[in-house]
Structure 1
Amino acid sequence: MKEELPQGFVASNVQAVGYSDLKGRPAFKMSIREHNGRWYLYTGHFWHSGWSIVDVTDPTAPQLVKFIPGPENTFTLQMELSDNIMITALEKIFPNFGGNPGKPFEEGVLIWDISDPVNPRKLGQFRTGGTGTHRNFYSGGRYVHLAAGMPGYDGNIYVIIDISDPALPVEAGRWWVPGQHTARGEKPHKPYISLHGPPYVVDKLAYLPYGSEGMVILDISDLSKPEEVSRLSFSPPFHSQFSMHSVLPLPEKGIAYVNSEDTSYGKGPLHHASIVDISDPSNPMLLSLFPEPVPHSGAPYRDFFEKGGWSGPHNINILQHNQDVQKQGELFYIAYFNAGLRVYNVEDPRLPVEVGYFMPPEPRKRYGPMPEGKLVMQTEDVLVDRRGFIYITDKNQGLWILKYQK
């Protein structure tokens, strides 16, 4: 049954195609798969533990076909798909997001068989022994690359696991920024050193979005002993906590797209979305900054810093290793929290230009405790399938399906 499109959205060069409220479970991270001519979108959730599978074969009428309950008191935010394997993250919920420190939680990753795409079958679990994993990378084969909260470390570190036997996954290697291994007496040299993830692996290099440490590039020719190639810091001048949130490297083009995540409610140092030259991995260089979104005519605020909620970039169309995701071309998509979806032309990496946007209507119901203050839309994630359909999620409303049309 087709749901009516909620009214009140504002758009430029982006058409609203379909909508689902997912039975009152706002979605978060997404991945997608075509199987025997049908398209399935897999989502995690912020305020509900578990995963939803949505049939988006007809993008005008998305159908929720299954909700798989997850463990209590546990974030189930992210999933990765390749062939018939799905990897789902499990993580301790932060107290400010509603987690109960006194209750048990599950952590690590679950490994699933999705040869039947609407009936995943659990194969195994890797446990960190700590807080679990946040955003992970899997492009098929034997190894999964984790942003993991391991015991004895301050912040998440990079961990590689071998899933050749999915029932008995084992660690294959790890790397951390010196200072994180506090159990061994190390002391962090500055705050917010943590691998946000996902690590992004291309051939023998791993690109890590490492919080206040910026973008870190590792040589993983020997998985058991990753070696640092370079770092590019963004803090200062940009804010420090998540000054490096996402990294999408495209070595064949010699560039990487990177961005921060600003949770200061617009009151701290500036956030950024940037393009970096990685043609020489030992010497990455900043090429350009994406321009700040400008409110539409008639908006009741001068800029998005004063609108309320979190402002700035969050997620990008990062799953370039997924064969069913649109490959990066001249259009670049950013989920921009209280500014909605922003679309940029990046044909000239020195001069990215905004060419479209979509701002969902403001939500009417608050599902979770964050962000605090004014209830405004918070566009969380964006994914574009190879048909060109754009999917965006929000902390306090349903799934939107869009199409760029200039």
Structure 2
Amino acid sequence: MTQKTRRTVLKLLGATTAVGGISTGSAQKGKKRKGQIQKFGHSLLSDPPGSYAEVDVRNDGHYAVLGSYLGEGGSFLVDIQNPTNPTEVHRIPSSSHTRNADVKFDTRPGLYYRSQEPNDEQGVGGVEVIDYGYGDATPQNPAVISRLEAGETHNLFKHPHADIVYTVNAHGSHEDEENTGFDIFDVSDPWNPQKLGEAGPAGALHDIVIDPDSNFMHCAYIGGALDGYVIMDVSNPTEPSEVGRFDYEGRPDYSEKRLENGEPGFESCHYANYDPERGLAVVGDEIGQGWPGGKHIFDIGWGDGSPSDPQHIGFTYSPDAEYQGDDPLETYDWTTHNHDIIPKGNNTLLIDGGYHEGAVVYDMSDPTDPVPTDEYETDDKADEANGAPWLGSAPNAWGADYNAARDLVVVSDMTTGIYTLEVTPTASKEI
């Protein structure tokens, strides 16, 4: 059913360490860890050739939208009002020459965005604006109404309070030190978006997430002039400014020894997200081959840290972290990917779309000592799925999004589609 080679529970519980001489592996003893997953529902959706990608849930929890990676998928609007039966409402196909890896809802109901990134010389870039009820279109009969001229775009983010979209042009391949982080677009008229400028430090910015309460933008720079975590202030949405950073330069890479000792490496900073109730951020490193990346916990106001001075206080690998091999079908096995943070009373949990791990829950209630506690292998109906041959077998979880309004998690699997899950602070299982 799965490609996993299980490690012992003892090995798993030892795989957490904080930087600065604070070892947390022994802190597990006698501590009751929390976090379990229950599945509500699943759908392969219309399952066109290729693979699914990012997932986003509308604020009210009525709809989810999925993107696609390679193939001819496009974007998929899914009704999740009944979480036991996620139902595809529409699919807007894409050309096999262009991928739509990222999708984001607008805060105005009836609009979403999908990134465009060329697969080859015939592909196109930018971001398409989709009307599914804002104007004349409907959820069942959507329309592409405009395009943000942003060049090849891997990720994007809509400002939570302003009609502004930020687009990220780097997918880790840009080494141009003059390349700025992101573009800024005014989408107040979604039929006529306008580019306002560029912002962010030079380097290959991979992804951004904005905290609507603090107006801090959490940026993951994956290479070029900068590899590391950057915090920007977007309280003035058209003039973002850097607040602080944690640069990976000069810090140790991942290695066999560091994995065996549960010690962090610092490479390929890929995704950063915030704790909505505590002054913390979680940053994941994605490494496709060789030694896998893990999750870093940063104090940005929880203790001695701050947005201007992020302090590294915790780290964990995925449950089955081991060498990933060099075969293309053995890559992205145990590295982490896109995640979300779930406050649950006195507990704080993290849900990750962990590639071949599937959906993984971590207990980060003690941020100096995060531990994986449960997982759901997202391989339902894998034998029926078209998928993509280069991925290897499912699970191939891409991302996870928590909706607080419905207390619901939605996970996308590149091969098997969409999952609706419940994550609870129940005593953990041995995984």
1:23 aligns with 2:43: no
1:110 pairs with 2:129: yes
- 2:300 alignment partner, one of 267, 278, 289: 278
Cα deviation code 1:114-134 (max 9, x no counterpart): 444444444432102x32342
Deviations 1:94-125 (A, max 9, x none): xxxxx232x24242342535444444444432
SS in 2 for 1:258: strand
**Conserved 8 A contact 1:304-1:338:** no
State the shift of 1:259 in Å.
0.7
Q: Write the letter of the residue equivalent to 1:282.
A: S
Task: State the partner residue of 1:84.
Answer: 109
Distance 2:110 2:86 in 1: 23
Aligned residue in 2 for 1:298:
none
How many residues are paired up? Answer: 359
Match of 2:206 among 173, 184, 196: 196
CA contact (8 A) 1:209 1:246 kept: yes
Q: Is contact 1:251–1:278 with CA below 8 Å preserved after alignment?
A: no
The 1-side partners of 2:242 and 2:268 are apart by 19
Task: Give TM-score scaled by structure 2 length.
Answer: 0.72
**1:211 partnered with 2:237:** no
Aligned-pair identity (%):
21
Distance 1:263 1:156 in 2: 25
Note the C-alpha offset of 1:43. 1.2
Paired position in structure 1 for 2:153: 132
**CA deviations over 1:303-352 (Å, ceiling 9, x no partner):** 4746933121101127x9xxxx9999622111111111111222211122
Change (3 A) 1:328 1:54: farther
The CA deviation at 1:71 is: 4.6
What residue is the counterpart of 1:44 in the other structure?
Answer: 67
Query: Helix, strand or coil: the match of 1:135?
Result: strand
Distance in 2 between residues matched to 1:172 and 1:139, nearest whole Å: 18
Q: What stretches of structure 1 of length at least 5 have no aligned partner? A: 1-6, 94-98, 179-192, 296-302
**1:144 matches 2:171:** no
**Which residue of 1 is the match for residue 194 of structure 2?**
170
2:359 aligned with 1:338? no
SS, match of residue 381 in structure 1: strand
Query: Contact 1:317–1:382 (CA<8 Å) still a contact in 2?
Result: yes
Aligned mates of 1:34, 1:379 — CA distance in 2: 22
Separation in 2 of the partners of 1:328 and 1:48? Answer: 44
Cα distance change, pair 245–395 in 1 and its aligned pair in 2 (3 A)? same
* Structure 2 residue aligned with 1:232: 246
Code of the residue aligned with 1:90 in structure 2: it is: S
Match of 1:30, SS? strand
Residue in structure 1 matching 2:416, options 383, 394, 397: 397
Aligned amino acid, residue 219 of structure 2: L
Corresponding residue for 2:181? 157
Q: Post-superposition shift, 1:256?
A: 0.8
| Residue among 300, 310, 313 paired with 1:287 | 313
The 10-residue stretch of structure 1 (279-288 or 55-64) with the greater mean CA deviation from structure 2? 55-64
Distance 2:417 2:277 in 1: 36
- Amino acid in the other structure paired with 1:196: H
CA separation in 2, counterparts of 1:126 and 1:328? 42
Match of residue 351, structure 1, among 334, 359, 369:
369
Task: State the 1:271 CA deviation.
Answer: 0.9
Give 1:204 deviation, angstroms. Answer: 4.9
What is the alpha-carbon distance in structure 1 between the residues aligned to residue 193 and residue 80 of structure 2?
A: 32
Kindly provide the CA deviation profile for residues 275-314 of structure 1, in whole angstroms up to 9, marking residues without a partner as x.
Answer: 101122211110100243148xxxxxxx474693312110
Q: Flag the 1:196–1:17 CA change in 2: closer, same or farther, 3 A.
A: same
2:57–2:410 contact (8 Å) kept in structure 1: no
Distance (whole Å) between structure 2 residues aligned to residue 334 and residue 401 of structure 1: 13
> Does residue 33 of structure 1 match 2:47?
no
Between stretches 149-158 and 247-256, larger displacement belongs to: 149-158
Structure 2: distance between partners of 1:331 and 1:252: 12
Q: Does 1:65 align with 2:89?
A: yes
Residue of structure 2 in register with 1:258 after alignment: 283
Return 208-217 or 26-35, whichever deviates more: 26-35
Structure 2 regions of 5+ residues with no counterpart?
A: 5-34, 255-264, 427-431
Higher mean C-alpha displacement, 117-126 vs 54-63: 117-126
CA contact (8 A) 1:109 1:133 kept: no
**TM-score under structure 1 length normalisation:** 0.75
Separation (CA, whole Å) in 2 of partners of 1:138 and 1:327: 28
Give the aligned partner of residue 77 of structure 2.
53
Give the equivalent residue in structure 1 for 2:16: none
Query: Per-residue deviation at 1:361?
Result: 3.5
Between the two structures, name the one with larger relative contact order (CA 8 Å, sep ≥ 6). 2
In 1, the alpha carbon distance for the partners of 2:87 and 2:248 equals 41
Question: Per-residue deviation at 1:153?
Answer: 5.5
